[in-house]
Amino acid sequence: MDQTIAAGANEMAVRAERELEALVGVSTPSGDIAGAEEAIAICTALLPVEASVQRPQSSTPGCAPDLLASIPGRGELRLLLLGHVDTVFSHDAHGPLDRRGDRLYGPGGADMKGGVVLALGLARFLAARPELFAELAVLLVTDEEWRTSEFAHVKRFADYDACLCFEAGQWTNGAEEVIVRRKAAGSLRVTATGRAAHSGSAPDKGRNALLALAQAALDISRLHDPHGSQRLSVVPTVLRSGDTLNVVPAAGELLFDIRADHLDAFAPVLEAVPRDRGGVKLSPALVRQWPGMDTHAATEGVIKRAAARIERALVGTDRGGASDASHFAASIPLTIDGLGPRGGGAHTSEEFVLAASLRERSEVALALALEILGG
């Protein structure tokens, strides 16, 4: 293996588990300002001393400001390291990092505090070699897990040469994998307006919003076609309706998670929502639209050469989940995601990081960064 990479990965890995313990130890559900500020304070302390720190506004109103660190260099290329500190876990579901054998369990460890730790370690490594880059930026956002508004940072980095995002890594068939293709993601909300009535003495005078939404869920789900030309998935995820046991529910909402190769596949789903079902008015709206990502062609050569540096298989692949990397891919063709440590159980009580992968994925991140920057 390239000795610069071996030494750099060792330096990153020696600190990574303790830094992950510190970050996982802070409860950071999306939207919680105090938790986000504490996590950002830890990340700021772990940045290279050469970094200048800004706190741009989050894309989501009411969230803590994001963290943007910039390190000037003497080279030619601009590189962005990307991550998020928020998690899907409530304070009640939070707990400290717990090592069980070769696994490090903790909420948000894989998605994506483990990746944040590696991004900060890579930033420190590169900051000591300013001849490699013109500018190095680290962007850590506080709202990735629940954002429905437009992403605020795309224009700021439009002239950057490369973006490395540190969502969780993976391993398949003996090869390290990074992510170069993601589906577009959308959230469809269908609201229902019916009429309340006593469910015992006058049930037929009501217009049942719950039944209308349930029928709409079945109708719209028939568009689910993950093996079709657009790889469209249409999955109902949340149904809310009714407040009282003996009243016909007059209102409610139904949510769908939609994924496809391209955003234009969502329009037929929206059009398929019936506007009236049994006298209940149904109103559909797309409340979140994240673009897809396909940087396979632009990144194939870089990934192949990085694999030679670490002397093991490294390939670009796809993943269904959404990521902020997708927002940058259109303006930064050399965007690679999935550089974080390997693990599993994301968004569940059994989320974990494989301890050994902290070093192994440090090697991957270093190899890609050095190959991109010509180091």
pLDDT tens digits, one per residue of 99-154 = 999 999 999 999 999 999 999 999 999 999 999 999 999 999 999 999 989 999 99
Q: Please state, in angstroms and rounded to a whole number, the distance separating the CA atoms of residues 317 and 319.
A: 7
> Is-contact 179 338, C-beta < 8 A?
yes
Helix (H, G, I), strand (E, B) or coil at 142: coil
Res. 365: pLDDT tops 90: yes
> Is-contact 176 314, C-beta < 8 A?
yes
Q: DSSP character for 110?
A: I
Res. 375: pLDDT tops 90: no
Report DSSP letters for 7-37, one per residue.
HHHHHHHHHHHHHHHHHHTS--BTT-HHHHH
Q: DSSP character for 337?
A: B
| Helices and strands counted in the chain (H then E) | 8, 19
Q: DSSP character for 198?
A: B
Q: How many Cβ atoms sit within 10 Å of the Cβ of residue 193?
A: 14
Helix (H, G, I), strand (E, B) or coil at 80: strand
pLDDT tens digits, 218-265: 999 999 999 999 999 999 999 999 999 999 999 999 999 999 999 999
Classify residue 328 as exposed, middle or buried by CB count within 10 Å of its CB (0-12, 13-18, 19+).
buried
Q: Please state, in angstroms and rounded to a whole number, the distance separating the CA atoms of residues 190 and 253.
A: 5
Classify residue 315 as exposed, middle or buried by CB count within 10 Å of its CB (0-12, 13-18, 19+).
middle
Side-chain half-sphere CA neighbours of 144 within 13 A: 27
Give residue 234's pLDDT. 97
Backbone angles phi, psi at 156, to 5 degrees: -55, -30
Give the list of residues 6+ apart from residue 321 with CB closer than 8 angstroms, or none: 167, 182, 185
Class of the CATH-defined domain 184-290? alpha beta
Helix (H, G, I), strand (E, B) or coil at 104: strand
Q: Which two tokens stand for residue 327?
A: 């927002």
Closest CA to 117 of 284, 367, 353, 277: 353
Q: Return the percent helix, strand and coil in the chain, to nearest 5.
A: 35, 30, 35
Across residues 11-27, what is the average pLDDT? 98
Q: Which two tokens stand for residue 114?
A: 């483990």
Closest CA to 321 of 201, 172, 167: 167
Global pTM reads 0.93
The average confidence (pLDDT) of the chain is 97
pLDDT > 70: what percent of the chain? Answer: 100
Give residue 237's pLDDT. 97
Give the list of residues 6+ apart from residue 151 with CB closer than 8 angstroms, or none: 59, 324, 327
Q: How many Cβ atoms sit within 10 Å of the Cβ of residue 181?
A: 19
- Given the structure tokens 């948000």, which residue do they identify? 108
Give residue 11's pLDDT. 96
Closest CA to 323 of 157, 124, 176, 178: 178
Classify residue 247 as exposed, middle or buried by CB count within 10 Å of its CB (0-12, 13-18, 19+).
middle
Give the list of residues 6+ apart from residue 264 with CB closer than 8 angstroms, or none: none
Band of pLDDT at residue 320, cut at 50, 70 and 90: confident
> Is-contact 104 18, C-beta < 8 A?
no
Q: Please state, in angstroms and rounded to a whole number, the distance separating the CA atoms of residues 344 and 110.
A: 7
Give residue 321's pLDDT. 83
Enumerate the domain spans of the chain. Answer: 3-183+292-373, 184-290
Res. 34: pLDDT tops 90: yes
Class of the CATH-defined domain 3-183+292-373? alpha beta
Across residues 356-365, what is the average pLDDT? 98
Side-chain half-sphere CA neighbours of 169 within 13 A: 31
Res. 291: pLDDT tops 90: yes
pLDDT > 90: what percent of the chain? Answer: 98
Closest CA to 118 of 74, 163, 168, 166: 166
pLDDT tens digits, 148-195: 899 999 999 999 999 999 999 999 989 999 999 999 999 999 999 999
